Amino acid sequence: MPDILLATLNARYAHSSFGLRYLLANLGALRDQAAMLELEITRRPVDVAEAILARNPRIVGLGVYIWNVSPLTEVVALLKRLRPELTVVLGGPEVSFAASDQEICRLADYTISGEADLAFAELCGKLLANQRPAEKFITAPLPNLDQLVLPYDLYDENDIAHRVVYVEASRGCPFSCEFCLSSLDVPLRQFPLPAFLAAMERLLARGVRQFKFVDRTFNLNLNTSLAILQFFHERYVPGLFLHFEMIPDRLPVALRDELAKFPPGSVQLEIGIQTFNPDAAARISRRQDHTVAEENLRFLRQNTGIYLHADLIVGLPGESLASFAAGFDRLLAAGPHEIQVGILKRLRGTPIGRHDAAWGMVYSPHPPYEILQNNLIDFPTMQRLRRFARYWDLLHNSQRFTRTLPLLWADRSPPSAFAAFLAFADWLFAKTNQTHAIALPRLTGLLQEYLVRQCGCAPARVMECLADDESHLAQHKRATLERTAQRPPRQARVRE
């Protein structure tokens, strides 16, 4: 039985806890006394408490995030009722700010704010030596990244086969966007590149083929980003997939050339546009050249096989519905494969709250703290936009209706994909009263009905587009299966 148990609730099984692996890797002499437990938020809190107590730890460290704080609050309450002597230590972004105001922090014994890679080990050493710190809330000093033990060897064979493997070459962000926690992580720091690439080499040898980089500004340091891209390109094998988050207005020629070398579908870029409104961007301290960002998106779509995922945010202070609609249409015209429409959140610790009075910002008091209304977008309209975002995911971002969906706005005057899809979203919700659990055949039938009866599209034209989409999707599935089949067997990968 471990003295220290590191635990969390992941959003789903396919996710892995990067933070817990860092804590475990950096426990030093205490590492052999520790274990890790990853469960999902679908588990009942009482069952999570049972799983923790079955391991009989002396210390339990819980990773707390926006998606799991509610059930973990129940878990901590149960743990302290059942085993009052158990020491509960919290960490993670959701408890790193305003900890004294949160019920979960009141229930727990200790809360560590900030990057706890080394601070958690120090605290555990004191607790196991019966030297309990008097302070309940501990602020972790910012660790030097060259002093950290990298956690990548802690991904086991089950993780490699079934979970997302997260990696990072840097921490922090040089920008100060007021809605984002990363803006508080300054300065931007790089992990030593030779050690990082050596760890990536070991993961590749063990059969990892999908790498999700969590760096907030992967392309800020051109030399580092080029070195990492060259490393993976030189070792490219079928099935390799890389995910990066990149600054949209920083794409010099050398980086363009390196990205263009990768086969189609092997690299995904998450590109945070957030808004095309210059006043709204300035208001939230977001520095971005919108024209350059737009040009870079067009270049990547037209000249590379990179898969482009772009983000926009609804509800920013001072951005009206008309302004958001114009930005959405502008972004769609640039050609990203996906547009993630996100609802503004007031994350703990971020300075976005300073606009509340001036712009009438009203947020939900419950996670994920999404905006409910402001003085430019009222609550009913915000609800419409939530449904817009959900249906856009189902129909556009799923890539199931790439030929059919543009019929919604093809003949609209003046042309506006946003206005056309919002009208369809309103109609769809009136028809179904649902945003989830809509079966694909039913969704297809409803889209067909709307196009014919509401938009006046010729039935034959709609059927032709739907048939093209079905054929395209089947081809995509076959290509995916072929790429998967080209990967070496799991046993062979383990032996390499």
Query: Residue 44 — very low, low, confident or very high, per pLDDT cuts 50/70/90?
Result: very high
First-residue to last-residue Cα distance in the chain = 32
The residue among 188 and 344 whose pLDDT is bigger is: 344
Query: Residue 494 — very low, low, confident or very high, per pLDDT cuts 50/70/90?
Result: very low
Please determine whether the domains at 4-143 and 146-479 fall in the same fold group of CATH: no
CATH topology assigned to domain 4-143: Rossmann fold (3.40.50)
- The span from the CA of 1 to the CA of 406, in Å, is 58
Among candidate residues 186, 196, 264, 183, the one with its CA nearest the CA of residue 224:
196
Is CATH 3.80.30.20 the classification given to domain 146-479? Answer: yes
Summarised one tens digit per residue, pLDDT across range 256-314 is 999 999 999 999 999 999 999 999 999 999 999 999 999 999 999 999 999 999 999 99
Summarised one tens digit per residue, pLDDT across range 402-436 is 999 999 999 888 889 999 999 999 999 999 999 99
The CA-based diameter of the chain, rounded to the nearest angstrom, is 77
Provide the residue ranges of all domains of the chain, joining segments of one domain with +.
Answer: 4-143, 146-479
Give the alpha-carbon dihedral of 482, 483, 486, 491, to 10 degrees. -110
Whether a cis peptide bond, with omega within 30° of 0, leads into 84 is no
